[in-house]
Amino acid sequence: MDFLSPTSLAEALAAKARQPEAVPIAGGTDVMVELNFDQRRPSALLDLNRVAELSEWTVAGEHIRLGATVSYTRIIDELGTRLPGLAMAARTVGSPQIRNRGSVGGNLGAASPAGDTHPVLLATDAVVEAVSVRGTRMIPASEFYLGVKRNALAADELIAAVHLPITSAPQQFAKVGTRNAMVIAVCSVALALHPEQGRVGAALGSAAPTPRRALAAEAFLSAELGDTGQWSAPRPLPGSVVTRFGELVAQAAEPIDDVRGSAAYRRHALAVLARRTLDWAWQDYLRAGHGGE
Amino acid sequence: MTGLLPARVIGQPLERADGMAKVTGTATYAAEHPVPGLTHLHPVQATIARGRVSAVDTAQAEALDGVIAVLTPANAPRLASTEDPELAVLQSDEVAFRGQVIGAVVATTPEIARHAAGLVQVSYVEQPHDVALRPDRADLYAPDKVNPAFPTDTEQGDVPSALADAAVRLDQTYTTAWYHNNPMEPHATIASWDGGDLTLHDSTQGVTAVRDTVAPVLGVAPERVRVICPHVGGGFGSKGQPHVHLVLAALAAKAVGRPVRLVVTRQQMFALVGYRTPTIQRIRMGADRTGRLTAISVDVVEQTSRIKEFAEQTAVPARMMYAAPHRRTTHRLAALDVPVPSWMRAPGECPGMFGLETAVDEMAAACGLDPIEFRVRNEPERDPETGRPFSSRNLVACLREGARRFGWAHRDPTPRARREAGWLVGTGVAASTYPAGRIAGSSVTIRFGPDRRYQVETAAADLGTGTWTALRQIAADALGVDYAEVDLRIGDTALPPASVAGGSTGIASWGSAVLDAAEAFRDKFGANPSEGDEASGGMPDNPHTERYAMHAFGAQFAEVRVREDTGEIRVSRLLGVFAAGRIVNPRTARSQFIGGMTMGLSMALHEQSVLDQRFGHIVNHDLAEYHIAANADVAELEAHWIDEHDPYVNPLGTKGIGEIGIVGTAAAISNAAHHATGVRVRDLPITLDKFLS
């Protein structure tokens, strides 16, 4: 097995173009597990740990450009207020050691349906910056996940960064696990309010072949809030709206029975998490006194 | 304090003698011993669950640089004895379970060995396999005995009539999952031959037992085998008996003429080093209107492997826990195409007390009694099975003391009646017990050294339990000297033999022998010995063994929170009170108790080896998917003990504490979960979906 260790993004892209079968490795929290368990034997590993450009985050206008290898720990410590939903999801990842090594770029590269940050990326309209020697492509998160552990990257592309809107609007993430930490999600839900667009983003994880948006739930809630003038003059939500939202999130799932939980349980829990995240987010929105004055 | 060795150093919470070496990384574990010319072995495992190896193509593996040998049944050296089919490695082409060792690669590095093992091409003649444990199988059979030597079935009185006549009846089935021991240190062996002499560095709970088991398999006289193991990174029973890797390493070292190291991987452990059988326990109970049990019936169905029998003694605790004139216990086995089951912390008591103590909780409720009061009401005056008096039995004291510490007094028994911020909260209790036994065969030598310290030698084991410290404390009191004047040596067959660290018998057995040797030493040399003076002793027979029933007892209390809308379950408090005779070292003892309780919590909520019946293997064979309770899963955890003076168990008055901590914990948690939610979970583990279906 070749071990390629470029020291710049340009070198990394050249290497990936030359050896498109090379598997990128950053924190190694997924790739090393797969190698150890002999689930894959790539002919080459492309080590991104020396590529300094990938481990920076910058403010670009209304967005944060989050380098692919910025660790979860740094997201929690440095971006907790600007990317609240992502920081919440990052806090639930693995253990402190895993959070020190793992990154959103790695989560996207692995594209596991259970990856913790995916629902947040979907709910917040994040965009993946894919680069190659051919140029740069901006891929919306909603077009990024193609199947179980399959994503939209071309063979010669690397993930350079993820762009997330900076927001002061409420975002929430909730996950059910079989224990308190170091646990793969049984299911998860992310919710983001986009008051400036009069829209709600909602997505689920670990309950379908890919992380996915709950489009019908988004449309229902966006319409309810818009039609009743809630964005400018928010009032407590009717229970029926919250319940219906939960049902629609659950209906968006295509869960399976596995070691972590049954399909029926996942549907039930998704509805609970959807109601819970909506309650929390709307409480925040009410408290912040949006629109009113 | 009649008859017992007076305690002066015993009872002090001394720090672990081996602690500094362990935390600074200088303690040498089995795979770390420097051995010149070391080679490395990686096993080839069967990918079918039953059949025969028809052909093995080793060409690709042998062609790899660094490969020294590829062993198969066709070229492996013959063993002298194949009587134990688990150890008869590479002696035939039969495959009895998926993951069985069918070949091995020896190479200059572990990586090359592992790579080459993956290049070995194996063809099979496959036969249909059968790995399904069900209570309605037609081929269930009664073993001759259950582990280690208990009767398979017992019957007293007339259970059917007593059940028919009972005012309150219970008939429920409880199940425990398939569990794997996962000590932090995986099993590992370095085998080196020097002519006809074999040295084994092995991670084991008993070097003497390893030597005596392996020598006849290899056809070597035991005195030509030396087994060394100063430190063990956990065993829990899985290192109590030699498993296949040990024989494989010795066999391979012989074949290649060089020392061989074999470190079992975490995934290989799920097929090769034993496990606890799943159990299906049908429990029937009858009681009169006052809540006195009239009948207890426990019928257990569990599995063993087709090639070697191991019968978990699951119903044994039901024979002695509670008074009832009519009683029956049975064990039936299904022999399946599965790996060989073996010891796991408190075999028998651990799964058996989950069923029994959950059933008792249900009976108490059916009788309208507090579960503590119900247990007190059914406390036997003598051992119900043998009629012997108990050497000491302080279950009631443990329940009362636990109730006081836990705050049980004003508990409202109504289920599903307490909510805190979306969480249903409940409390539960269960009893705990473990036999207080000893194993014969230990010798101890005490020598007065040139440094005017006493060298105490025996081949005992410390698997993280505290032997290095506790046995030295016993020796200090036995000799009447300070702790610092004692130098202990254990974990080497070059020392006098010692019994296995199993069945919570270590300290009682080795400690009795230390005491005997110290008495012999003082008789011979008095209080002022000369350099080189030496005396030996062994474990004297205990005349009380035939006259008393000897058991430790405990009470486990749990507070559980279950999220009402998702079923997520968390254990917010665990409190155990134990009566286990004299406690030699309160610091290491506390670790034993809370370690056992944590393992019980793990069993209650997390652990479950998931079998894929189509292929016959465990799918969650790593620590990412086989969850073991970790720090974040444990909130408040307390262990206490009551002062117990038992002059009959042994001259030290100790009962053994390695296993009792895990017994009853899962039942206390399931009982608390029922109190919280009103849902009775009778099948472990207690997962979130079980509260919603």
CATH classification of the domain holding B460: 3.30.365.10
Taking only the tens place, the pLDDT of each residue in B98-109 is: 999 999 999 999
Interface list for chain B against chain A, based on CB atoms closer than 8 Å: 118, 267, 565-568, 570, 605-606, 610, 619-620, 622, 624-625, 627, 629-630, 632-633, 687-689, 692-693
User: What domain range is B486 assigned to?
Assistant: 439-538
Domains contained in chain A, CATH given: 1-46 (3.30.43.10), 171-287 (3.30.390.50)
- pLDDT exceeds 80 at position B296: yes
A80 in Cβ contact with A88 (< 8 Å): no
Residue numbers of B annotated as active site: 659
Which residues of A are less than 8 Å from B622 in CB distance? Answer: 37
Residue B138 domain flag: no
Q: What is the pLDDT of residue B693?
A: 67
- pLDDT exceeds 80 at position A291: no
A265 CA: distance to closest CA in chain B (Å)? 6
Q: Are residues B256 and B288 in the same domain?
A: no
Q: Are residues B531 and B495 in the same domain?
A: yes
Q: Are residues B239 and B376 in the same domain?
A: no
Q: What is the dihedral of CA B322, B438, B660, B148, to 10 degrees?
A: -70
Radius of gyration of chain B (CA): 26
- pLDDT exceeds 60 at position B332: yes
- pLDDT exceeds 50 at position A292: no
Residue B4's CB: how many other CB atoms inside 10 A?
A: 18
Residue B553 domain flag: yes
Instruction: Choose the final residue of a domain: B472, B503, B538.
Output: B538
Q: Are residues B460 and B506 in the same domain?
A: yes
Q: Do A179 and B605 make contact, defined as CB atoms within 8 angstroms?
A: yes
Instruction: Choose the final residue of a domain: B518, B538, B558.
Output: B538
Mean pLDDT value across residues B172-188 = 98
Which residues of A are less than 8 Å from B567 in CB distance? Answer: 265, 269
- pLDDT exceeds 90 at position A111: yes
Q: Are residues B244 and B351 in the same domain?
A: no
Mean pLDDT value across residues B454-477 = 98
Interface list for chain A against chain B, based on CB atoms closer than 8 Å: 33, 37-38, 176-184, 186, 259, 261-262, 264-265, 268-269, 272-273, 276
Taking only the tens place, the pLDDT of each residue in B82-100 is: 999 999 999 999 999 999 9
Residues in Cβ contact with A81 at an 8 Å cutoff, skipping those fewer than 6 apart = none
Q: Are residues B280 and B261 in the same domain?
A: no
Q: Are residues B408 and B552 in the same domain?
A: yes
Separation of alpha carbons B349 and B110, rounded Å: 39
B687 CA: distance to closest CA in chain A (Å)? 7
How much of chain B, in percent, has pLDDT values that exceed 70? 100
What is the interface size between A and B, counted as CB pairs within 8 Å? 56
Mean pLDDT value across residues A248-255 = 97
- pLDDT exceeds 90 at position A121: yes
Q: What is the pLDDT of residue B649?
A: 97
User: Global pTM?
Assistant: 0.96
Q: Structure tokens of B538?
A: 């062994």
Residue in A37, A92, A176, A180 to test binding to B, most B beta-carbons within 10 Å: A180
The shortest CB-CB distance from A179 to any of B606, B625, B693 is to B606
The shortest CB-CB distance from B565 to any of A37, A184, A272 is to A272
Q: What is the pLDDT of residue A258?
A: 85
Which residues of B are less than 8 Å from A206 in CB distance? Answer: none
A261 CA: distance to closest CA in chain B (Å)? 7
B436 in Cβ contact with B549 (< 8 Å): no
Q: What is the pLDDT of residue A182?
A: 87
Mean pLDDT value across residues B271-275 = 98
Radius of gyration of chain A (CA): 19
Taking only the tens place, the pLDDT of each residue in B583-598 is: 999 999 999 999 999 9
The shortest CB-CB distance from A262 to any of B606, B633, B689 is to B689
Mean pLDDT value across residues B480-491 = 98
Residue with tokens 């130098």: B487
- pLDDT exceeds 60 at position A293: no
- pLDDT exceeds 80 at position A127: yes
Residue B10 domain flag: no
Q: Are residues B631 and B577 in the same domain?
A: yes
Which is it for strands A57-60 and A158-165: parallel, antiparallel or unpaired?
Answer: unpaired
Label residues A197-226 b or e (16+ Cβ within 10 Å = b).
eebbbbbbbbbbebbbbbeebbebbbebbe
Across chain B, what does the average pLDDT equal? 97
Residue with tokens 């005992």: B460
Separation of alpha carbons B155 and B384, rounded Å: 11
What 3 state SS string does A134-173 have? CEEEEEEHHHCEEECCEECCCCCCEEEEEEEECCCCCEEE
Residue B13 domain flag: no
Which residues of B are less than 8 Å from A272 in CB distance? Answer: 565-566
Q: Are residues B500 and B521 in the same domain?
A: yes
Cis peptide before A119 (omega within 30 of 0): no
The shortest CB-CB distance from B689 to any of A181, A182, A265 is to A265
Q: What is the pLDDT of residue B488?
A: 98
Which is it for strands B423-435 and B551-563: parallel, antiparallel or unpaired?
Answer: antiparallel
Taking only the tens place, the pLDDT of each residue in B540-585 is: 999 999 999 999 999 999 999 999 999 999 999 999 999 999 999 9
Q: Does ipTM top 0.85?
A: yes
Q: Do B567 and A183 make contact, defined as CB atoms within 8 angstroms?
A: no
Residue B576 domain flag: yes
Residue in A243, A265, A270, A278 to test binding to B, most B beta-carbons within 10 Å: A265
Local structure of B374: helix, strand or coil? helix
Q: Rounded to whole angstroms, what are the CA distances from A125 to A10, A81, A167, B287? A: 28, 17, 12, 64
Q: What is the pLDDT of residue A261?
A: 86
Which residues of B are less than 8 Å from A273 in CB distance? Answer: 566
Q: Nearest-CA neighbor of B152 among B370, B267, B16, B316?
A: B316
Taking only the tens place, the pLDDT of each residue in A154-206 is: 999 999 999 999 999 999 999 999 888 888 899 999 999 999 999 999 999 99
A188 CA: distance to closest CA in chain B (Å)? 12
Q: Nearest-CA neighbor of B314 among B271, B354, B261, B287?
A: B354
Tally of domains within chain B: 3
Instruction: Choose the final residue of a domain: B538, B572, B589.
Output: B538
Q: Are residues B286 and B360 in the same domain?
A: yes
Residues forming a β-bridge with A201: A192
- Angle of helix B349-366 relative to helix B586-605, nearest 10 degrees? 70
Q: What is the pLDDT of residue B1?
A: 39
Residue B357 domain flag: yes
Cis peptide before B148 (omega within 30 of 0): yes
Q: Do A178 and B627 make contact, defined as CB atoms within 8 angstroms?
A: yes
Q: Are residues B584 and B642 in the same domain?
A: yes
Mean pLDDT value across residues A83-96 = 96
Residue B139 domain flag: no
Residue A289: band (very low, low, confident or very high) from pLDDT cuts 50, 70, 90: confident
Q: What is the pLDDT of residue B66?
A: 98
Q: Nearest-CA neighbor of B486 among B514, B462, B508?
A: B514
Q: What is the pLDDT of residue A238?
A: 96
Residue B86 domain flag: yes
B393 CA: distance to closest CA in chain A (Å)? 37
Q: What is the pLDDT of residue A290?
A: 62
B347 in Cβ contact with B603 (< 8 Å): no
Q: What is the pLDDT of residue B307?
A: 97
How much of chain A, in percent, has pLDDT values that exceed 70? 99
**What is the identity of the amino acid at B651?**
P
Q: Are residues B366 and B451 in the same domain?
A: no
Separation of alpha carbons B635 and B558, rounded Å: 11
